[in-house]
Structure 1
């Protein structure tokens, strides 16, 4: 295991400094704090913040469930609403993975990965879209808008906007690899034909763990200096060293040009043996209720057991480097109290 896996156990720049909030004060949780996990069973977490509420979802495998709360640190107490169940047959009938909820053009859209019950597997795995015109995505009717017209089969579709254009990024199956691809969007459910490009392939050892070469779960984060950032998960989910890498495109560059993107040579967020955190990955980003703090939401597990199972959803505050890129610090131990997000 590379040495950097075991280095850097300090908490984020916003780590607890209040008297009594040291790592040894684990017997009783101090007021104004919370501990991970957000959900004990929480692979591939996703959070959308909208009009005073957080809407959370994660992979269940069999349906799409949304949780609604005003305090993300209290997610475990939020009510759950199953908003969509897959059909018994068809291209989106099995393995419902990695849902993402987005509010676009005045409507709600759920992007999710699925495959066909009749011929399951990666060759038939694609990203699909649901639409809902209700003000509250936990209510109303979800309409199936079909499969996103990607060039390749793949998973983990996400959407971001930049410079007046909306983009779709996903993990595409290309040969024996899983690469990152991007395309401009024509509608919230369709890409502009013929403009999809591959922007990153597995090249480092830490992207080839678990016997696979995988880049997946790309998530957009605007840099503080105008950069475009894509934070992605590397290696197979059963690899204990599953980590986050990052692509950076300079301010003003064209995101559809592969040469615009530079990959960090080392992971930007990775497991901590000292904190008993393994398999850190498949993240998203959100703000505190008052908008003053940045938080990363991710999944991880407590056992280095070579399995995908046991992933819980977690979150912690992150800060920024002088160059405008994020610094995530080490993943926080489940025994470590954290200050609740500002404004809760």
Structure 2
């Protein structure tokens, strides 16, 4: 009888995990491939690496490989931020932000390409800078209705210094064509915390006939760094600003009780069985009054399940406390 009890206890523990997934991992991005494999990237500042895992919560045990380091003294040799891995037209692409070590005016989004079936194998080739009209960061690709759209955070001209979100059509995975259309500027107070007016880190989520564009707002070192949301109908012309409706309040923000500060720069994935939706984001476990949030390496990646409201919009809930057992995603072994 005692042995049976121990087995049940072990089984329950096996179905739990705790955040954070890694002790450091700013700007986390996760991608679930068609074969069920999860790939993960994060800001490492001077190189780009990929983690490969059979599960969402197994990141700390996952295979990791450095796939690219920049040449010295290139325009993209410094401040390598926010890589994203995309599978487009049968090839792998990584979009990342970098500059030459100078100011924001030198910051651009660049592309790496790999034609191997496995992104951990083959050669990653530097392709080019994306030809955005503005310097900027945090580029992402939306594949929609057999078209490619590029969305990024561009440095523009606003009453408060900062960045805004732009969208453009793509001629191919590294080239934009046509106007870069402004779809969201930081005009609300919750988008201006920490001394800067910021919209950055765009990521898309398609469901229920709508496209949800989730973005990070305010300065990343502020406790009030948070997630905002734009919504467009799948049938809308995405290059028309009025197609995008901004939610009036943040959709995911700090929780002092749970000791979660500055939650943002997220991505999305699904459980192995496809039955659950999960959000991956970075956050601090201490406030800006208790430590230096400008040390970005102290941001760590966390995941949690989210649900859907009756009107078909996502409900991300409240950031959950770190180092607390949680149920693993459905279908994880």
Report what 2:221 is aligned to: 238
For residue 72 of structure 1, give the secondary structure of its aligned residue in structure 2.
coil
Q: What are the superposed Cα offsets for residues 232-263 of structure 1, whole Å, 9 maximum, x if unpaired?
A: 00011101110000001134211100011111
Q: Does 1:189 align with 2:177?
A: no
Report what 2:299 is aligned to: 311
Aligned match for 2:68, one of 76, 84, 105: 84
Whole-angstrom CA distance in 1 between matches of 2:26 and 2:256: 20
Aligned match for 2:20, one of 15, 37, 44: 37
Whole-angstrom CA distance in 2 between matches of 1:198 and 1:34: 40
Aligned match for 1:164, one of 146, 153, 174: 146
Q: How many residues align?
A: 312
Whole-angstrom CA distance in 2 between matches of 1:185 and 1:324: 29
Report what 1:6 is aligned to: none
Q: Does 1:280 align with 2:280?
A: no
**Runs of 4+ residues over 2 Å off in structure 1:** none
TM-score (norm 1): 0.89
Displacement of 1:72: 1.5
Matched ranges for 1:55-70 at <5 A: 55-70=39-54
Displacement of 1:340: 0.7
Q: What are the superposed Cα offsets for residues 56-81 of structure 1, whole Å, 9 maximum, x if unpaired?
A: 01001010011100011111111210
Q: Does 1:53 align with 2:37?
A: yes
Displacement of 1:336: 2.4
Provide the aligned C-alpha RMSD in A. Answer: 1.1
Displacement of 1:30: 2.8
Whole-angstrom CA distance in 2 between matches of 1:201 and 1:220: 17
Unmatched 5+ stretches in structure 1: 1-28
Report what 1:178 is aligned to: 163
Q: Does 1:112 align with 2:100?
A: no
Aligned match for 1:337, one of 319, 325, 328: 325
CA contact (8 A) 2:68 2:124 kept: yes
Deviates more, 1:36-45 or 1:328-337: 328-337
Whole-angstrom CA distance in 2 between matches of 1:223 and 1:198: 23
Report what 1:221 is aligned to: 205
Whole-angstrom CA distance in 1 between matches of 2:293 and 2:36: 36
The one of the two structures with greater contact order (alpha-carbon pairs below 8 A, sep at least 6) is 1
